[in-house]
Amino acid sequence: MTIVLMTGIQSALNPAGVQAEKIARLWDLFFWVSAVVYVLVMIFLLAALLRRRPEIVPNATSPRVRAAVSIATGLTVLTLFALLTASIFTGRSLSDVPERAIQIGVTGKQWWWHIEYDDTDKSKRITTANEITIPVGMPVTVHLQTSDVIHSFWVPNLHGKRDLIPGRRLTWTFSADRPGVYRGQCAEFCGYQHAKMALWINALPAAEYASWLEASRKSSKIPSTPEERKGQEVFMSSPCPLCHTIGGTEAAGKTGPDLTHFASRRSIGAASVPNRREFLAHWIVDAQHFKPGSLMPSMTLEPGQLEPLVVYLESLR
């Protein structure tokens, strides 16, 4: 198949992890078997249509045709059985869950992802949103929950999908074999903004992952410039803290994404808008433009408040 149109960051055909790799190999098998079967059937159909016929077509059924149909049926059964066997073996090997895996909590919300790295030591817990950072080569188990409707967690480069179902806690284990950024997206229709409920997976080499953990466990950066300080004031005096948490400040809302290390993230609005200054400013005053129906209201700010607020948020690395 052609690779020309592929960007590859959200593709089942471009596996970057062992699970996706196994599925892709199974896909290859099914694809080529199907291709051969299809071509054969079409050849027989064309031959049946175009073959030269005797002047008078005999009415009796020829035993050769009968044999051909029987053989084709037998081959169909054998082929299907072979495919079934391959499928079941692949399925089994996918469900081999390694004993030691990094445990990450993922909660689906209309229409974003709440991410938690749990730890027995409370100070080491990390809360973030719409972006999961994992070490290369280490199995990762995500614990999938939903706080509202059914969603489905799907990062095609790493693995197939698994649903997030109310009242159930499903797990899904995958790993990334090469460093990179992979995009995932909610795959179960979950309402108004289902289309804009995506997430990023950052697969980092072990050392970088360790330093990412280190940095993420810290509280938010304390404002260091007058503008950042003004921005923080704006944030705290606006409705923002009602919904958002910024670690180390009094902002502790739980309705929206945690913003403690907001500036380190790739995008806004569940991987639907790039996290750049112009978009961020626009998002704050008019989130409904980008993502109508999302819970983020379009904020009304006094003149001169937006600029420092953006500067403050951009300092939250």
Binders of another protein among 91-150, rule CB under 8 A?
91-92, 94-95, 110, 148-150
Our CB check for another protein shows the closer of 40 and 252 to be: 40
Q: Is 32 in the site for another protein (CB under 8 A)?
A: no
Q: Between 24 and 301, whose beta carbon lies closer to another protein? A: 24
Using DSSP's 3-state secondary structure scheme, residue 186 falls into coil
Residue (77 or 207) nearer to another protein, CB: 77
Stretch that binds another protein, among 11-19, 119-127, 252-260, 276-284 (CB under 8 A): 11-19
Q: CB under 8 A: which stretch of 70-78, 113-121, 205-213, 238-246 binds another protein?
A: 70-78
Say whether residue 206 binds another protein (CB under 8 A). Answer: no
**231-260: which residues touch another protein (CB under 8 A)?**
none
Stretch in the footprint of another protein (CB under 8 A) among 183-191, 234-242, 249-257, 307-315:
183-191
CB atoms within 10 A of CB 181: 14
Closer to another protein by CB, 105 or 241: give it. Answer: 105
Q: Does 52 bind another protein (CB under 8 A)?
A: no
Residue 191 binds another protein (CB under 8 A): yes
CB-nearer residue toward another protein: 149 or 263:
149
- Sequence-separated (6 or more) residues with CB below 8 Å from residue 148: 108, 109, 110, 166, 190
Scanning residues 272 to 301, which ones bind another protein (CB under 8 A)?
272, 292-293
Minimum distance between the CB of residue 114 and another protein, rounded to whole angstroms? 18
The answer to the question of residue 266 lying near another protein (CB under 8 A) is: no
Number of H helices, E strands in the chain: 7, 12
Q: Where are the beta strands (DSSP E) in 70-217?
A: 102-109, 112-117, 126-129, 131-135, 140-146, 151-153, 162-164, 170-174, 180-185, 198-204
Token pair in block for residue 63: 């035993």
* Cα Rg of the chain, angstroms: 27
Q: Which one, 53 or 122, has the nearer CB to another protein?
A: 53
Is the distance from CB of 275 to CB of 314 less than 8 angstroms?
no
Per DSSP, the three-state class of 263 is helix
Q: For residue 193, give the nearest of 254, 115, 269, 257 by alpha carbon.
A: 269
Q: At what angle do helices 63-94 and 18-50 cross, to 10 degrees?
A: 170
Task: Compute the least distance from the CB of residue 254 to another protein, in Å.
Answer: 19
Distance in Å, CB of 30 to another protein, minimum = 5
199 forms beta bridges with: 184
